[in-house]
Structure 1
Amino acid sequence: MGKPKVGRKLEAVVEYQAKLATPFAVLGICIEEDWLTDIEYLPLDTPTLAPQTSLAREVCDQLQAYLAEPDFIFDLSLHIGGTIHQKRVWRAIQDIPSGKTRSYADIATQLHSAPRAVGQACGANRLPIVIPCHRVIAKSGGLGGFMNASDGIPLGIKRWLLHHERG
């Protein structure tokens, strides 16, 4: 057996406490102790998984409430890692009402930062939908990026979420 190539990243095994089917993706829910730590977008053909804990059940219930009513306000115990700057960006994003958007530049101005740094914080968000980075768009009014991508499936998810919230 040879050595792994330099720079090769080993895939971590993720243990989900629930996998919730939605119209745009299967949402992988990760819980640690009494905290929601991650929501991951998984392919639509990923098998679902019933909630394994009471908190996973609550997360799924609240996500389903959001899917039924885009103005739903989440009330969950979140484990929010990240840098001080990322946390400031995520707090600003949580203040954007459902159905509304703000540009990366607007948030950057508010936080005395740079649009690219706001975009990087959005890309590092481990709790999408609950921390609604999809509500942050390009200054031009275009979608901008989503999930560290500028095209493909990620932008389709962003487009779906924005359309859902605008009714």
Structure 2
Amino acid sequence: MPELTITSPLGPLTLVEHNDALTNLLWRNTRSNNRTQLLSAAKEELDNYFKGKLTRFSVPLTVAGTQFQQTVCKSIAEIPYGKTSTYGEISKLLQSSPRAIGNACGKNPLPIIIPCHRIIGANGTLTGYNGRRGINAKAFLLKLEKS
């Protein structure tokens, strides 16, 4: 599977492609440089996102996981740029529990692109994030989207 490691304000990120779709965004440097057309497009979109010029990603995605995890990711992808939702709100929408939503968010294979950072606690607190820098990364991304 082609991989491309890019630099970002949150540190190195590795993009993984499989069957002409982006499948993973990893919070680490694999020192990969397989620059396919798709990975180049994903890099450009992420660069523009971090510059505040892109509010919705358009590269093709494939989300692995259970049907429930895929449904949660699809719901999260619909949260508009600069907005947030709570685990409880998503759980009501999907007729599930907030904890199940949190668990699915923790397994999101495409953080940032599928914006699980936009999910916050019921009282507005920043809770849980699967990024390398955890809550600090979540706070950074939310601040970026508010500016």
Q: Provide TM-score, normalisation by structure 1.
A: 0.81
Q: List structure 1 runs of 4+ shifted beyond 4 angstroms.
A: 46-51
Q: Gapped runs of 5+ residues in structure 1?
A: 1-14
Matched, 1:69 2:82: no
1:91-102 mapped onto 2 (5 Å cutoff): 91-102=74-85
| RMSD between aligned residues | 1.9
2:128 corresponding residue in structure 1:
145
1:103, 1:24 → 2: CA distance?
24
Tell me if structure 2 keeps the 8 A contact 1:31–1:38. yes
CA distance in 1, matches of 2:30, 2:87: 35
CA contact under 8 A between 1:19 and 1:26: conserved in structure 2?
yes
What does the per-residue CA deviation read over 1:101-139, in whole Å, with 9 as the maximum and x for residues that have no partner? 111011001111000000011011001111100000110
Is residue 18 from structure 1 mapped to residue 18 from structure 2 by the alignment? no
Give the number of aligned pairs.
Answer: 147
Question: Per-residue displacement from partner, 1:70-94 (whole Å, max 9, x unpaired)?
Answer: 6521111111111121122111111
Partner of 1:36: 22
State the SS of the aligned residue for 1:62.
Answer: helix
Match of 1:120 in 2: 103
Residue 160 (structure 1) aligns with? 140
Q: What is the CA–CA distance in structure 1 between the aligned matches of 2:108 and 2:23, rounded to whole Å? A: 10
Task: Pick from 105, 112, 116 the counterpart of residue 133 of structure 1.
Answer: 116
Scaled by the length of structure 2, the TM-score of the pair is 0.91
Percent identity, aligned pairs only, is 33
